[in-house]
Structure 1
Amino acid sequence: MTIVAIIIGVVIASGVYFYIGLSRLSENAELQENNIENIGNENQNGAEDNKESINILALGVDIGTAGAESERDPKRTDTMMVIHYDKLSKAVSIVSIPRDTLIKVNKKNTKINAAHAIGGVRYAVDAVEKLLDIDINYYGKVNYEGFREIIDSIGGVDIQIENNMDYDDSAQDLHIHFKKGETVHLDGKKAEEFFRWRKNNNGTGLAEGDLGRIENQHAFISKVMDKLKSPKIIPRIPSIFMTLPKYAETNMSGDEIIKYGYAFIRSGDVNIETLKGHTKYIGGISYFVYDKNKNKELLSKINNVTVDNKVNIDKSKLNIQVLNGTDKTGLAARYREYLREKGYNNISVGNTEYSEDTRIFLSKNFNNKQVKYIKQDFKINNIKNIEKNDEKFDIIVILGKNNKVIQ
C-alpha cells in the first residue's frame, strides 16, 4: 500500500509540474484564442460549428536573415500545416500547404511563406483562413532550434533514405549527407537536415522541388506519430514536457494541449495530404497556384462543419433563386458559383430591395435533417418559410448587408 501511495503521489506531483510547464507555452503567444477566432472569420454567418472539431495551424519558421541576431528579424515559414481533429469520427487529418503558394498581401502577389515575415502569426493565420475558407482555432509555432530539441526529447526516429542527399550551405551552417537505401537514426540535428533537403549542390534532387520535400516530411511525421504511440515513449514524457515550453509557442491552454494531444495519439491512422494545384510563373517568379476544385475532398476533411450527407437531397433537381439585397455588384452571381461548386445546378439570380439580413426561404418539403443540412451547406442560419406566391422555388436566398459568405 505504501508503494502504491508513493507512486500515486509522484504521479500527482508530476502531473501538476507538467501542467504548469505546458501552461507556460501560451504565455508569450502572439495571439490568444479569442483573438485568433476573429481573424478572417468567413464562416460566422451561418455554419454551425462542430465544437469538438478543431483546426490547428502548425508553423515551422526559418532562421531569417543569415547572421542576424535580432529577435525581430523577419522569419518566413518553412513549413505550414493544418492539423484537423474531429471527435465524432476520431479522425486526424494533416494538410501541408506548399510554401510557394500564391496569395495576396496588401493587394500584391506574394508567397504564403512570407505572410509570417510580414505580419507574424496574425498574417499567417489570416492567409490560411482566406485561402482555404476555414477557421483556424489554434496555432503552434517552432523554429529550427526548437524542432531539433523536440525531436531529441522523443529520442529521434529511424527512417529509410529514398534519395541521395548531398548538400552544403556554409552561410546557414547546413550540411546534409545521406545515402539512398540506408536506414538512418535521425536525432534532432539530422532530422532538421532530412526535413529541409530538396536538392543537391550539383543540381540533382527532387524533381518536384518543394512538393517532393513535403512528401519526405510526411514520411518523417508518420514515423514521429508511430513513436509517440509506442509504449517506449513513456519514459521520455518528462523530457518532452520540459522541452516544449522552452522552444514552442501556442495559444492553446495546458488543458487543451493535454486533451488534444491525447486524442491525436489515441486516433487511428492519420491522413496526411498536400494541397493540389500547379506551378505558374507570374512576373518572372514561380508560384504554386492552389486549385480549389481539385481539393474538394481534402477540404471536406478539415472544414469545421459536420454535415450528415445521408439526407436524401437531389441537388440537381432543386430550383434555387439568389437575390442580392446589397449595393455590391455581382454578389448574387458569385454566390451562385459557390453553390454550383457544391453541386446545385438550377440557380437563377437577381436583385431585390435593400436588406440588412442574409436569410434563406425554404419550401415546406424539407424535413428537419434536410433543413440542417441546407443551413450548413449554404452557410446561413436564418431560415424562413417561402410564401405561397414564391412556391415555384425550393430555396430562395437573400444576401443582405451582414453577409459573410461571399464578398
Structure 2
Amino acid sequence: MKRKVRSKHNRKKQSKRGDVQNWFLNVAIFCLAVIIGGFIYSTGKRMNDNLQKVMLSTAETMSAPENPFSNIIIEVLNGTEKPGLALEFTNYLRQQGFDVIASGNASRSDVPQTILIQRADVPEKLSSVNATLSLDSGRLYDEKDPSLQVDMTLIIGKDYNTLPVYSKIQSIKEN
C-alpha cells in the first residue's frame, strides 16, 4: 500500500513540476511574442516613414515645370570639315531644351547645305525644332526611319555660317 501512496505523491509532484514548467514556458512564449510584435511594429513604422519621405521627394520633383522640348529627340551630324561644329549645335539645342542623344560626323564632309530630316511621324516636333533653327522650308525633309530612334536628324552643311541661328551659337560659345 505504501507504494501506491508514493506513486500518487510522486505523480502530484511531477504534475506540479509540469505545471510550473508549463507556466514558465507560457510566460517565455508571451515575452517573445511581445518582443517580436514590437520589432514588427518598429520595422513597419520605419518603412512607413521612409515611404512618406520618398513620396514627398517625388512630389517635389514632379512639381517642377516640364520643358516642352524635352520629348523631342535629335541627332546632330557635322557634314563639314570644321571640327567641333556638331558639338556647338548640340550644346545650343540642349540649352534650348531639346534632347540631343547623338552628335558626331556625317558620312560625308561635303554636305552643301544644312538640312533637318524628320525621322518620326511628328510634324509638330519638326515645326518646334525648325522654329529654333529658322531654316527655310526647302531644307526640311521627311525620311522616316524608326530604327534610328530619333525624331529629327540635323545635318550641318557648308552654309552653317550663313544660318541665322549660327550667330546665337557663336554668342553662347564666346560667353
Give the TM-score taking structure 2 as reference length: 0.47
Which structure has the larger Rg over C-alpha atoms?
2
Between Structure 1 and Structure 2, the one with more strand by share is 1
Between Structure 1 and Structure 2, the one with more helix by share is 2
